[in-house]
Every structure is written in structure tokens, then in C-alpha cells.
Chains A and B, each alone.
Chain A
Amino acid sequence: MLRRLTRRNFLNLTALAAGAPIFELKPLRGIDFVLQNSPTPRKFLIETMPGGVALFDYNNDGLLDIFLVNGGRITEALRVPENFARSDPRYWNRLYRQNRDGSFTDVTQAAGLANAGNGNYGMGVAVGDYDNDGYPDLYVTNYGRNILYHNNGDGTFTDVTAKAGVAAGGWSVSAGFLDYDNDGHLDLFVTRYMDWDADHNKICGGDWRTYCPPGAFPATTSVLYRNRGDGTFEDVSERAGITAKKQRALGVAFADYDGDGFTDIFVSNDGMQQFLFRNNGDGTFTECALESGAGLTADGKGLSGMGTVFQDYDNDGRPDVLVTVLPRENYTLFHNDGGGLFSYQSLESGLGALTSLSSGWGVGLEDFDNDGWKDLFVAQSHVLDNVQQIDASLRYKDVPLLALNNHGRFERADSGVTTPWAARGAAFGDINNDGWMDVVVSTLGGPPALLLNRRGSGSHWLSITLRGTRSNRDGYGARVSVNAQTRFATSAGSYVCANDRRLHFGLGTADRATVEILWPSGARQVLKDVRADQFLEAREPERS
């Protein structure tokens, strides 16, 4: 069958001919962070799971800064109560402020973010302006107690966890801010993995000595905190129906999948069914993944769900779900068919052929080549550091997967990374404000990696920052359409990471755009004839 030579195909062909990768691996100047996961022969499962990356502009200077979550020190002698030596600067989380020249300065101590607590082994991070003061706040998840850092607006943060009541406890992994009740205040969802502690650790694999699968440990529940609007939160997990089913939750992503105006929650669970919490609009949720077709593979099998993203990959206006998993499962794409139903479309989308032996963590659907279609990036690595000895066809370290979206079908592309990593988190954002999406990846035992977009030519873009007035100030939960593409405003998604909250749209050859925003408040806003290639702030109308 003859295939029409579209502009996209032409661009692909020329890129292929030139052998040009999409990204360039750039040193993060001024960043000396090493993710200390501290692997031991005792194979404590927490060692395999950190660490988060947040791309956010904490000082509102227009440049993305980077916050990196560290693990902690673990020794073979680890026992309850665990101490991870987080007071030692080697194990601190770190905040790096971006300078005008693209370099970074470590401002951790000055910002009040040093020492995340000796009993806390770091996992992930969420970003949101929970008090609507115009400065993004940080929520750090831990095995231990989570920490909410309030951004004081003067370059410093204050630990307000106790006052806010959001410590959670147990083993938290990913988290995200959302406004589930549309009251204008950001609420908080925290995934928790399992009931585990050092005294109840297990080693699996016989002579191979491997980390145990999640089924070896008891499942637990995730947490939903409702923001009271006064700087405090209320744990509504049980009342809202979040704890109705036990989970082994790692990733979380938000979108309004059924178009009812309320943000729904997708949770990627490890070694079991995935969860889709449909927002009933009355403060409660119904877990409906199975009956919606987003719980299991087409073969009715559970998934080793790790990272997840909830965005519209095929430009039909409805958010789809993508889940990263372990080898021989295929990265899972649940296509939103409308009417509240999903269908498993890993095979049709090309992911079956691309990912049958892949093991993925952080994941993003972003338009890396600005052609108007969201592409796929996955930070990859197996869980087991000795997997190759067990199965010679698998690898522990891997290069990231970059797959360009050709009208709904993913095709492998050159990421520009040739050295395999034990990658975990992947945060997405336009680091250098050039209109092309970049990626920062966290790697176990190593420094973070910046994949700077090399930029194509001839394609336009638009970056939109939402400024809620009646809705939450970040505009999380808004549905934004630009020239028939749709994004759901959130900084959550991926795995243990927080993405640039600016909404990036590739426009292809179009140098003008029509922007339609459906705010969480219900306000609908249309901006016509918007010039391309700009960072646009869209302010929610005060009155409808």
C-alpha cells in the first residue's frame, strides 16, 4: 500500500538520514547531586525505588529550578527504627536554582530544605501552590514520614507538615496535587506501596538473591488529603472511598476522563490490577478500573504498574492512560473510547513491538518534536540488579525509550542516550525556555541527567501558564485545547516526579492558535488568533 508522504514522514526521513537524535545529553552545570540509594546484599526493596525530580520555578524568575529527592544511607544492619542518616549532607534532598546562564546553584541550605529527617528514606516529590499565594510548594514523599514544605516567597521554605497534617507514614511513593472537589484549593493524593519495614524484609530468588516481588508483602492503602483552605488538610481517604481496596500503588496521574468536570485519579499498582478512581462529584470516588477496561491487560492479566501518565495521545480530546511495566508485559496503553470506557491498545499503538522486553519507570507524553502529536519518553531499567544472570535476554541498565507519535502510532526514535542507566524518575519541562521540551532523569547511584532538546526547525509551539482565579491558582484540572490538541493541566504523572506545570503544545507549521480552556470552576475561556512561539499566561476570567 502506498503511504502518503506527509510532512511528518518527510521530517522523520530527513532526521533519519541525518542520524540526528532528538536530545543532547548535557551536563547540569553546578549540580553535583548523586542519588544515594545505598544498595545492600540484604536487598531491601526500598533501595530500588527512588528518586524524584521536580522541575518548577520556586522563585518565580521565569527559569525552571530543579529539586532532587535523595534516598538515604542503608547498611546491612538496618533494623527498626530505621535511620537513614539524612542529616548527613550526602543524603540531603537538594534544590538547585537555575541561573540566567543555564548553570545551577545549590540553594538547599539557604532554602531550608536540608536534612529531610533521619527516619525518612526519600522517594518522590509533588509540586503545587496549595495556599494560592503564587509560590509553588513542595511535598516530599518518603518511606517514613512525608514532608510539606511551604514556599515562603522569599527563597525559603518552611516545613509545615505537622500543622498541615499530611505526614501519611508508611511507604509513600508518588504524590500529586489536584483539586478533586473544585473548591479552588489544591488537595493531595499520595500513593503508598506496601506494608514493609526492615525487620520484615525478605530476599527472593534462592541462590540468585533478588529483591522480592510486591506480592511477597502485604498490600496497603493510598491517601487522599482534602485541603481545608486554611493551611491544613483532612485525611478523607476512607470517606472518599480510596481505602476501599488495598493497593500496591506506585504512580498516580490525574485527568477528567469522563468529561463531568471533576478530576479523576488513575493509580498504577505493582503486580496487580490498576485502579481508576472515578470522581463522583460529591466528595467520593468509585474504583472502576475493571468495568471501565483500564484495570488489566487485554488478556485479563495484572500489571507491574510503575509510572503512569494520563494525557490524550491520539488527539481525540479524551485523556488516555499509559502505564510503564516490567518485561514481557508491554507498556500498557488504555485508550479512552469515550462513554467511560477504555480499551487496551498497546499492540495497535506499536508499544507491543517496542516494549515487550522493556522495564519502565518515569514516563511522559510530550510533544518533543513540536509536530502536534505527543511523543513518548520512558526512563528505563529493570528492578533486579542481577536480572541478566537470571535471564540473559534482559538487562538491568537500559537507555531511555523515545518513541515519536505518528498519528497515534509510536515509532522508535534516537534519544541521543547511548549509555545505559538504572533510571527511575523522569520529569519533563522546557529547561532553557526555547520552546522545546527537555527531560531530567534520575538514576540510582548516579547523577541526574539532562536531556536537552536539540530543537528541530520549522515547527512552532505554544507554552501556556494557567493562572486560576476562581479555580485553584495553578489551574490544575483545567482542560486546555490548542488547535485540536488537548492537555489536562497537572504537574503530576510520570513516576515520583513533578513536571513543569506550563502546558506545552507543538503546533507544527501553524503560526497561530486557538486556545480553549475549561477551568475547574466551570468557566470556559477561548483565546483566538494567539501568536505561536511564546510563553502565554492565561488568566481565568473573574466572572463567567
Chain B
Amino acid sequence: MIRLFLLLWLAGQSGASDALQHVQAGLEARKLHQVDMEIAEFRKATEIDPNLADAFANLGAAYMEKHDYSSAIAPLRRALELSPDLPVAHQLIGYALLAQGYAAEAIPHLHKVGAQEALGIAQIETGQLSEAVDNLSAVLAQRPGDPDLLYYLGHSSGLLSKNAIDTLLATHPDSARAHQALAENYLVLRQMPQAEKEYKEALRLRPELPGLHLELGQVYANAGQWPKAEEEFRAEAKLQPGSAEAAYRLGGALLQEGKAHEALPELRRSNDLKPDMPETLYSLGKAASLDGDVATAEKAWLRLTELEKNTSLAAQAHFGLAALYRKQGKTAQAQHEMQEFQKLQSTIAAPRSEQ
């Protein structure tokens, strides 16, 4: 793209002077991928006419082609001295400076030509994380799924998040949010006693803060302390009656404790608040099945198998349906569901606890 732009631009700038003849020769060498020849011709052009911006820009471009970014910078600077608005020179020097680690110097050049991807990367380097996220998000919208973009966007978002948390911890170390942030870190590290302590302190400071009970409940669930997990999820559900996740987590804890009858309304509520979440549908079917509500179980699992085709949850739903039908004496349907389950099992990696 840059190359084509350069050629078109240079075509419009060509003259009859000797210097321009060397520029023309350089462009011919470029077509033949003879980079060293290219460099020699452009250099001659700059020696003959030290004020020919085109020659300097082309010389810089040739070095860029050779990945010799260090050598590219000087002629590109000269090109911009001679022609300060030369877009290609701005773009190339922006890339060259960025490649050489001079992100701060690269940014004005990249900004001038709207090279958002490179600009975003340069902004990560200079710590302008918010701007980097904006620029990278804009490019990702045009090129969704690009792995490099996804990486840089994730990286910059993570750094932005870390910066915010570091600032929070530095400026408000005794705040509820600071304790929550610490607790979340401990939770990720599976250091449950420390996580529990920080969440409890956060709750002591701001008991009304949404999400704290939910996360503390997760700590207890991970530690196998299900009655405590239930208590926290229940507190969150009370605090946020519109939270589908709180209802889902509460239902899950109740289910783990063998209280299927109590779990069922919570999971129903979760599904009403946020319909067709596969995890909720699966747990709803499970609770209903354990509670003897065959119709609800069947409906939830059938809906799940409509929504999900090749996932482990879909396999689980087929397995649940097989058991349900088997108990009802519906042998053919049970066999069909078991076949679907086995089919999926053979395509999905077999679940296995590593620990």
C-alpha cells in the first residue's frame, strides 16, 4: 500500500533533471526488487540535488524496504525539512522511529497521517494507554479478528487496568475499592484466606457496594465452603434483585448443597432476567431434574441443545435428557440422546480433572 502510494506520488513529481533521472532509475530498480541498486540511485539523486525532497523520501523508503530503519531516519527527516507536509515521509519516519524505539518522536508523524495501528502501539510505549485503546479499537472495528491488533488491544487494556488499580492503591489504600482490588488479585492466585479477608474489609467499609458479596461467594465456592457461599450469593441477590448472575450463582450454590427445590426458583429467575444463557439453562435443567420437575428440565435442556451444538454444555444437556427419558421409560428417546452425547464426546476433548 505504501509502496503504491509512493510510486504514484513520485510519478507526479518526476522531472527532467539529472537528479530526477536517478530517481527514475531508482524506481525501476525497485520494480525489480534490486534494493541496493535502488539505494545507490536515490543517494546519487540526493547528492546531485540536495533539495529534492522526493529523492530523500525515496532513499528513506528504500532503507525501510531493507529493514534498515536506522539509516532510513536521516533522509526522511531531510525530506520533511524540504517538504514538511509530505505524508509518506511522515508515515515512514513514524514507522522507522517506532521500530527503533523512539515512540514519543514517532507519534506526531503517525498522528499526522492517521496511522492508527502504529499510533496505538506507539502510545502503549509512551504510556498514553487510553488513547492507545481508542486507536486500536477503531482499527479492530475495521479488521476484526486480526491477531496482532487483538494482542495490542488486550495488552494496552491490561496495562490501563493495572495503572488504574495501582493509582487506586497508591491514592486510596484504605478504601473499599482498594480492598476489593486486592481481593480480586488474591482470588486469581487462589489465595483464598487473603481474598476472604480483603473482601470482608471492603464489605465492612461499603456494605452496599454491588459485586462484593458475589465475589466473596466465589471465594467460598472455590474453597468448597458452600453454606457460606450461599449466604454471600443470597446477600448479593438481595442487594441486586435484577442481577441474573447473582441469581445464577445462588442457584448453583444451592444445587451443590443438594437443595434443588430452593435452587429452582433462583435459576428460573436468572433465566428470566437474562434469557437463554447456556450455563443457566443447563443448571436450571439440572435443578428441575433433581427436584422432579421433568417438564422444566426437558424444556431447559432442549432449548440449550437448540442454542449450542458442539459444546461440552450441549453434550451435558444430551446426557441429562438421556437420563430423564430413561427414568420415564422412554427408551428410544433416551438412546437417541445418549447417542448424541457420545457423538459430541468423541469430538470434544474428554473432560478430566488434572488435580
Contact = CB atoms under 8 A, between A and B. Distances in A.
Contact of A302 (B224, B323, B327, B352): B352
Given A327-B355, A337-B327, A391-B355, A302 B258 contact: no
B59 interface: no
Interface string B301-323: 00000000000000110111001
B222 interface: yes
Interface stretch (A166-174, A239-247, A345-353, A509-517): A345-353
Contacts of B95: none
Nearest to A215: B352
A350 B286 CA distance: 16
A353 B323 contact: no
A300 B352 contact: no
Interface stretch (B23-31, B47-55, B188-196, B208-216): B188-196
A393 B353 contact: no
Contact of A347 (B258, B323, B352): B258
Interface string B235-272: 00000000000000000000111101000000000000
B257 A353 contact: yes
B319 A296 contact: yes
A522 B269 CA distance: 54
Contacts of B319: 296, 299-300
Contacts of A161: none
A353 B225 CA distance: 7
A293 B323 contact: yes
Interface in B141-190: 189-190
Nearest to A326: B353
A347 B327 contact: no
B351 A301 contact: yes
B290 A293 contact: no
Contacts of A394: 355
B56 interface: no
Interface string A384-402: 1001001111100000000
Contact of B256 (A326, A353, A382): A353
Give the secondary structure class of A's interface: loop
A304 B353 contact: yes
Contacts of B197: none
B22 to A, nearest CB: 59
A399 to B, nearest CB: 14
A299 B338 CA distance: 13
A538 interface: no
Nearest to A342: B323
Interface residues of B, number: 34
Contacts of B345: 300
A537 interface: no
Give the secondary structure class of B's interface: helix
B139 to A, nearest CB: 36
Contact of B257 (A299, A329, A352): A352
B327 A343 contact: yes
B323 A329 contact: no
Contacts of B224: 327, 355-358, 393
B351 A326 contact: no
B353 A329 contact: yes
B192 A393 contact: yes
Nearest to B222: A393
B287 to A, nearest CB: 10
Nearest to A357: B224
Contacts of A328: 353, 355
Contacts of A271: 352-353
Q: Which 10 A-B pairs have the closest CB atoms?
A: A300-B319, A357-B224, A347-B258, A356-B224, A353-B226, A353-B257, A352-B256, A348-B258, A301-B351, A392-B190
5 contacts: A300-B318, A301-B351, A302-B351, A304-B352, A343-B327
